Amino acid sequence: MSRARWLAVIVGILLALGLVAWLIDAVYRLYAGVSLASPLLGNLLLALLLVLLALLIAGVVYYGFLFGRPKRQRPRPRVPVQRSAAAKDSLEAVRQQATRIQDEVARQALLERSRELESTFARREFRLVVFGTGSAGKTSIVNAVLGRMVGQVGAPMGTTIIGETYPFRFKGLDREIHITDTPGILEAGIVGTEREQLARQLAAEADLLLFVIDNDLRQSEWTTLRSLVQIGKRSIVVFNKIDLYPEADLQILLDRLQDRLHPLIPSEDLVAVAANPQAITLESGETLRPDPEIIPLLRRMVMILRSEGEDLIADNLLFQAQQLGEAARELIDAERLKQAEKVVERFQWIGAGVVSAMPIPVVDILAAAAVNAQMVVEIGRVYDCEMNIERGKELAVSLTKTLISLGLVRGATEIFAIAMQTNVATFVIGRAVHGATAAYLTRIAGKSFIEYFRQDQNWGDGGITEVVQEQFRLNQRDEFMKVFVKQAIDRVVQPLQEREEGDRSS
Ligand SMILES: Nc1nc2c(ncn2[C@@H]2O[C@H](COP(=O)(O)OP(=O)(O)OP(=O)(O)O)[C@@H](O)[C@H]2O)c(=O)[nH]1
Ligand SMILES: [Mg+2]
């Protein structure tokens, strides 16, 4: 403390002490005067003064405690705990899932991504992604936000062809910000589609999205924006190139936009800017390039970063982790499906062989069910669900009963009778039709069981009937049936004919 301050403090204390002495003296005189007139009134006055003194002391102690408390440190940027813990759990689950993925490349890619995400938990920059239609002015916005030319700007669509990221900081914000410029969406051609995919992927990784438009919102822009907001992407809609509109037209346009965006985007998140205003030619012939009008966007960005920044990062990390979990599940499901379909493919022809080898040409339900029971066990194994053959048989029988009650056995027999009558010798036609029918029904059963195991041993809301009907419908398409009949002739009819011809000649 400076000497002048010390002096001021000492003078202040002396003054306060003088005042207190004067006050005590004045109070004492008052008390003496009143007690002389009435001792009771004097005592009451004394009690009142004591209460006032006690209140004063209590007040000083209370406020002294409040002010004397050590100042709270400005919190370090820290991702909200609950969501970050949930994201970590999700990543742990992904690593567990990865052990079940057989494709080495896919497994490694998944693990690498989960490690990448994990490392971002420690310290992470804020990700801002500039996204929108080609030529709306995304690169111009990045340049204006950074206050320097970093990306090439051009009138034709497709000037930016890869995602480019630039780090920067806002005064007073602890986190570094990474702003990413993306290629435009809705550009024609295969190259355009590929770039759009990249842009969408970058947008999905954003903590905050700047969705740039330069005119009324097109339907395709609206749909894209809606889907991004619906997956939880916090977005600012940036209306660029306002220098091109007269004031009155601009206001009408903005009002209309606001109506259209409501309630997806609150009005304060629709921001109008001119990131790279057109040069103006003066009467003198001189050209003047106006400064960018970007302040409203900077202001809104800072406000969001201050009030929601940490939440947005936490939400995004959790979202990314869940997306990765979803990707892992899809990979596992696709691999299992492939394996399970191989099992069905194998059993359908085994079933066909059993039935067609029978002396009496009928679709023997029990024979088919016995084959199906083993199939159920094997499909279950693919889905990590061990079950014994008895349980497999129960399931197979109940499915076979459903096939009969739905009239599918008869229906399939008729379909194959018609399909085979022209190209199968008459002496084997009965058994051929029933063999093909058995193969077909085994296939329907197998596909239905795959659905059952995919849904954690559950037939779903519509029960077994709906699953079987759906599989019957899916496996009835013309192109599939043509291939199936051809396979049936190769695998069932030909061996039958060869055997019959062999029997006859011997
Ligand atoms: N009048 C006016 N023109 C602008 C403004 N901002 C950008 N432009 C022009 O719009 C055109 C496209 O700008 P870019 O920044 O390259 O647009 P982009 O969205 O990055 O385009 P792509 O990378 O091709 O998707 C250029 O000719 C810019 O000069 C603006 O505020 N006012
Ligand atoms: Mg660009």
Residue 429: how many CB atoms within 10 A of its CB? Answer: 17
Atom index in ligand 1 nearest the CA of residue 158 equals 24
Instruction: List Cα–Cα distances, 286 to 202, 244, 292, in angstroms.
Output: 42, 20, 19
Q: Between vectors from CA 19 to CA 17 and to CA 25, what angle results, nearest 5°?
A: 105
Contacts of 278 (CB under 8 A, 6+ apart): 243, 244
Cα(237)–Cα(478) distance, integer angstroms: 48
Proximal ligand: closest to the CA of 184: 1
Under 8 Å between Cβ of 321 and 91: yes
Tell the residue number behind the tokens 């900077």, with chain if given.
298
Amino acid at position 155, single letter: A
Cα(178)–Cα(312) distance, integer angstroms: 14
Cα 60 from chain centroid (whole Å) = 54
241 Cα to the center of ligand 2, angstroms: 14
Question: How deeply is 353 buried, as exposed, middle or buried, from its count of CB atoms within 10 A (0-12, 13-18, 19+)?
Answer: middle
**Which one of 3.90.1150.200, 3.40.50.300, 3.40.50.720, 3.90.1150.10 gives the CATH number of domain 81-279+287-327?**
3.40.50.300
Residue 196: how many CB atoms within 10 A of its CB? Answer: 19
Is any atom of ligand 1 closer than 6 Å to the C-beta of 159?
A: yes
Atom index in ligand 1 nearest the CA of residue 274 equals 31
Cα(227)–Cα(458) distance, integer angstroms: 31
Structure tokens at 9: 């403090």
Structure tokens at 61: 């102690």
Helix (H) or strand (E) holding 132: strand 126-132
Cα(446)–Cα(396) distance, integer angstroms: 9
What value does the CA radius of gyration of the chain take, rounded to a whole number of Å? 40
Say whether the peptide bond before residue 263 is cis (omega within 30 degrees of 0). Answer: yes
Under 8 Å between Cβ of 364 and 437: no
Is any atom of ligand 1 closer than 6 Å to the C-beta of 293?
A: no
Residue 322: how many CB atoms within 10 A of its CB? Answer: 16
Instruction: List Cα–Cα distances, 17 to 11, 61, 108, 326, 425, in angstroms.
Output: 10, 19, 79, 74, 126
pLDDT for residue 124: 73
Q: What residue segments make up the domains of the chain, in order of their start?
A: 8-68, 81-279+287-327, 333-505
Cα 169 from chain centroid (whole Å) = 27
With CA atoms as reference, report the closest residue to 367 among 352, 381, 387, 377: 352
Per-residue confidence in pLDDT tens, the chain, 506 aa: 567 888 888 999 999 999 988 988 888 888 888 888 888 888 888 888 888 888 988 887 877 655 545 444 444 455 566 777 888 888 888 888 888 898 899 899 999 988 888 887 666 789 999 999 999 999 999 999 999 999 889 888 888 989 999 999 988 888 899 999 999 997 777 778 888 999 999 999 899 999 999 999 999 999 999 999 998 899 999 999 999 999 999 999 999 999 999 989 999 999 999 999 999 888 888 889 899 999 999 999 999 999 998 889 888 888 888 889 999 999 999 999 999 999 999 998 887 877 777 665 455 555 566 678 999 999 999 999 989 999 999 999 899 889 888 988 888 888 888 888 877 777 778 888 888 888 898 999 999 999 999 999 999 999 999 999 999 999 888 888 888 988 888 888 787 777 777 766 66
Q: Between vectors from CA 321 to CA 105 and to CA 101, what angle results, nearest 5°?
A: 30
Cα(40)–Cα(182) distance, integer angstroms: 88
Give me the helices (H) in 71-103, please: 81-98
Residue 495: how many CB atoms within 10 A of its CB? Answer: 16
Under 8 Å between Cβ of 238 and 212: yes
* Mutation choice for ligand 1 from 153, 213, 250, CB with most ligand atoms inside 8 A: 153
Go through the chain and tell me how many residues it has.
Answer: 506
Cα(298)–Cα(315) distance, integer angstroms: 22
181 Cα to the center of ligand 2, angstroms: 7
pLDDT for residue 438: 86
Under 8 Å between Cβ of 207 and 79: no
Is any atom of ligand 1 closer than 6 Å to the C-beta of 432?
A: no
Under 8 Å between Cβ of 144 and 276: yes
Q: DSSP letter for 28, please.
A: H
pLDDT for residue 73: 45
151 Cα to the center of ligand 1, angstroms: 11
Is any atom of ligand 1 closer than 6 Å to the C-beta of 278?
A: yes
pLDDT for residue 265: 95
Is any atom of ligand 1 closer than 6 Å to the C-beta of 158?
A: yes
CA trace torsion 242, 247, 252, 257 (10° rounding): 20
Cα(379)–Cα(200) distance, integer angstroms: 37
Proximal ligand: closest to the CA of 158: 1
Cα(209)–Cα(202) distance, integer angstroms: 10
Is any atom of ligand 1 closer than 6 Å to the C-beta of 145?
A: no
Is any atom of ligand 1 closer than 6 Å to the C-beta of 140?
A: yes
pLDDT for residue 168: 95
Residue 6: φ, ψ to 5°? -55, -45
Buried b (16+ CB within 10 A) or exposed e, 407-418: ebbeebbebbbe
Atom index in ligand 1 nearest the CA of residue 184 equals 25
Which protein residues have a CB closer than 5 Å to ligand 2 (ion)? 138-139, 159-160
Proximal ligand: closest to the CA of 276: 1
Contacts of 327 (CB under 8 A, 6+ apart): 110
Cα(268)–Cα(305) distance, integer angstroms: 14
